[in-house]
């Protein structure tokens, strides 16, 4: 099943190019803060899936293109991310990376602010007039389905609810400029495009053999397969759950392959992951300066 969140925090099921509104089966959905209805739906999925299916059959579809897609979980408790994680990306950006020469096995994971999530219907917004370099990273995201604490890799895949596309956008460090923490540089509002839909695990035949591609305008910048992940999905769940508890609806960005590069205002960035989906977001500069400029 492909789950969507759209417009004013409504929930949909997507089949082909058609979206079926199933909000009647998610009574807690809506814009009131905090928007945690998808995490609750995921936590109770076994009992609630039949209600979602019934609502889908009672619904008249509309074209997906006629709605505005929000992140398919707007407010996960955690957004975890793996650094690097494809061998051919290691060292690729040299001194602009704090990961230079290190493996994801050594570095483990980092966090992105939940507030950096944006849906497929959103826009990537760069700080106004910034001279810094902002890069794209094309990543498969795993969405957790069950509370996971100290999960050994042999049991890890049973904790996966589904998958989405995710762009891990990053402000790079520069020689001569004080180095901000990685979490700061990756947490600007809209720096985590996430979607377009949440695809349940039963629809993805092998998450470790998916083509992952990203284009800037018409230029193919990244093209790799998830079979090249250094720390695979069970490894990431084992590692993260050894440190803290993962909750239903939590997101793990699995790391970027080679080919990362800059994006600029006026560009359109497209991500496509086999069996998971595709989305394109425009890039623009913010209209106003933040109190702290970057
Ligand atoms: Mn990344």
Pairwise CA distance, residues 164 & 149, whole Å:
22
Task: Render pLDDT for 133-160 as a digit per residue (tens, 0 to 9).
Answer: 999 999 999 999 999 999 999 999 999 9
Q: Which residues pair with 220 in a beta bridge?
A: 215
158 C-alpha to center of ligand 1: Å? 24
Tokens of 52: 């979602």
14 C-alpha to center of ligand 1: Å? 27
Pairwise CA distance, residues 66 & 86, whole Å:
37
226 C-alpha to center of ligand 1: Å? 14
252 C-alpha to center of ligand 1: Å? 10
192 C-alpha to center of ligand 1: Å? 10
59 C-alpha to center of ligand 1: Å? 38
Q: From its phi and psi, is residue 47 left (phi > 0), alpha (psi between -120 and 50) or beta?
A: alpha
* pTM for this prediction: 0.96
Residue 190 C-alpha from the chain's centroid: 11
Helix residue ranges per DSSP H, the chain = 37-43, 45-58, 104-107, 153-156, 182-185, 233-241
- Residue 285 pLDDT grade (very low, low, confident, very high; cuts 50, 70, 90): very high
Instruction: State whether residue 227 is helix, strand or coil.
Output: helix
Eight-state DSSP code of residue 186:
T
CATH (residue range 73-285):
3.90.850.10
32 C-alpha to center of ligand 1: Å? 30
4 C-alpha to center of ligand 1: Å? 23
Task: Give the whole-number percent of the chain exceeding pLDDT 90.
Answer: 90
Question: To the nearest whole number, what is the mean pLDDT of the chain?
Answer: 95
112 C-alpha to center of ligand 1: Å? 10
Pinpoint the residues of the chain covered by CATH 3.90.850.10: 73-285
Q: Which residues contact 107 (CB under 8 A, 6 or more apart)?
A: 83, 84, 99
- The pLDDT value recorded for residue 95 is 64
Eight-state DSSP code of residue 126:
E
């Amino acid at each position: 099943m492909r789950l969507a969140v759209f417009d004013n925090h409504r929930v949909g099921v997507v089949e082909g190019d058609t979206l079926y509104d199933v909000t009647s089966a998610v009574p807690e959905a809506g814009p009131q803060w905090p928007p945690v209805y998808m995490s609750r739906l995921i936590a109770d999925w076994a009992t609630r899936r039949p209600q979602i299916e019934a609502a889908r059959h009672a619904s008249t579809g509309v074209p997906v293109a006629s709605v505005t897609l929000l992140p398919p979980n707007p407010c996960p408790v955690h957004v975890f991310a793996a650094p690097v994680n494809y061998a051919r990306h290691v060292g690729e950006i040299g001194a602009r990376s704090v990961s230079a020469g290190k493996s994801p096995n050594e570095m483990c994971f980092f966090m992105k602010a939940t507030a950096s999530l944006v849906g497929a219907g959103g826009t990537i917004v760069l700080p106004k007039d910034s001279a810094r370099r902002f890069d794209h990273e094309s990543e498969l995201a795993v969405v957790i389905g069950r509370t996971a604490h100290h999960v050994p890799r042999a049991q890890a895949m049973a904790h996966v609810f589904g998958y989405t596309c995710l762009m891990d956008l990053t402000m790079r460090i520069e020689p001569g400029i004080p180095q901000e923490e990685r979490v700061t540089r990756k947490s600007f509002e809209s720096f985590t495009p996430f979607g377009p839909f949440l695809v349940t695990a039963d629809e993805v035949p092998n998450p470790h053999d998916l083509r992952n591609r990203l284009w800037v305008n018409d230029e193919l910048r990244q093209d790799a397969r998830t079979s090249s992940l250094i720390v695979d999905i069970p490894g990431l769940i084992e590692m993260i759950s050894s440190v803290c508890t993962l909750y239903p609806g939590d997101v793990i960005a699995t790391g970027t392959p080679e080919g990362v590069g800059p994006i600029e205002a006026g560009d359109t960035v497209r991500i496509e992951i086999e069996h998971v989906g595709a989305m394109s977001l425009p890039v623009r500069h913010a209209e106003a300066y933040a109190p702290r400029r970057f």
